Structure 1
Amino acid sequence: MKFLVLSAVLVLAAFAAAEQYTDRYDDLNVDEIIANKKLMEAYMNCVLGKGKCTAEGKELKSHIQDGIQTACEKCTDKQRQKARKVVNHLKDNEKDYWEQLKAKFDPEDKYKETYEAFLAKND
């Protein structure tokens, strides 16, 4: 019986871990990207489908729609912090990019309440 319970716990833990985005790029320096217009432009062009993507950019692009719809539910803690930092920077300082992101990933403002609540958190 103990083996069965332990097995069930391990399966659930493995399933929960699989439900998170990879942490491979958790140490990406978003401060450097925010501070460098050229880097910011390259990442934004990637995400918006207007330019080439780095490996990090491809990973971000593949999860951005889901992240918007679920308030970054599958993000690691570092990813949540960095997502808030970058998106709030875009909203405050790069309004054109912010509008383009919204137009591409939430054109009907269907998820606005979800991502705005996520962005307002400080966890």
Structure 2
Amino acid sequence: MKCLLLVLAITIQCTLAQSETYTDRYDTVDLDEVLSNKRLTVAYIKCMLEQGRCTSEGRELKSHIVEALQNGCEKCTKAQREGMRRVMKHLIKYENNYWQQLVEKYDPTRTFTKKYEKELSSL
């Protein structure tokens, strides 16, 4: 009986852990297409900065950006973690002015972004 309860508890915990991730609905967004198209990249950035309209993907991202920065993307799917790193690296390298604006808005004390910048610069 104790073994059955243990298995049930572990199953419930795993189920809860899985449901505590962000939606994977947008995991298939083609980041290469977005990042290679300056107009599209800037549109997403302006959404994040509240300077432009947002797509449903942009609204979803914006709703989780602070939490994801603070907890190391703990609730992200694997695709989201990899995508976050790719996007941040691209912004730092090619859109640094926008990167600085995003940092100012979402991490003005640079508490979290310093870690990411250091990690990404070593790649």
Q: Structure 1: how far apart are the matches of 2:89 and 2:37?
A: 16
* Match of residue 117 from structure 2: 116
- Supply the RMSD in Å over aligned alpha carbons: 1.8
**Structure 2: where are the runs of 5+ without partners?**
none
Match of 2:8 in 1: 7
Read off the aligned partner of 1:40 and give its amino acid letter.
T
Whether the 8 Å CA contact 1:68–1:114 is kept in 2: the answer is no
Runs of 4+ in 1 over 3 A off after TM superposition: 116-122
**Aligned CA distance change for structure 1 residues 10 and 120 (closer, same or farther; 3 Å):** farther
Q: Quote how far apart the aligned CAs of 1:120 are.
A: 5.9
Please give the alpha-carbon distance, in whole angstroms, between the structure 2 residues aligned to 1:53 and 1:6. 44
Aligned length: 122
Asked if 2 retains the 8 angstrom alpha-carbon contact of 1:45 and 1:51, the reply is yes
TM-score when scaled to structure 2? 0.89
Which ranges in structure 1 are unaligned for 5 or more consecutive residues?
none
Per-residue CA deviations over 1:12-65 (Å, capped at 9, x if unaligned) read 012211221111111110111111111111111111111111111111101111
Q: Does structure 2 conserve the Cα–Cα contact (< 8 Å) formed by 1:46 and 1:52?
A: yes
| Distance of 1:18 and 1:117 partners within structure 2 | 31
**Equivalence for 1:80:** 81
TM-score, scaled to structure 1: 0.89
> What do residues 67-109 of structure 1 show as CA deviations (whole Å, max 9, x unaligned)?
1111211111111111111110000000111001100011111
Aligned sequence identity (%) = 43
Counterparts of residues 1-123 of structure 1 (less than 5 Å): 1-116=2-117, 119=120
- Greater Cα offset, 63-72 or 110-119: 110-119
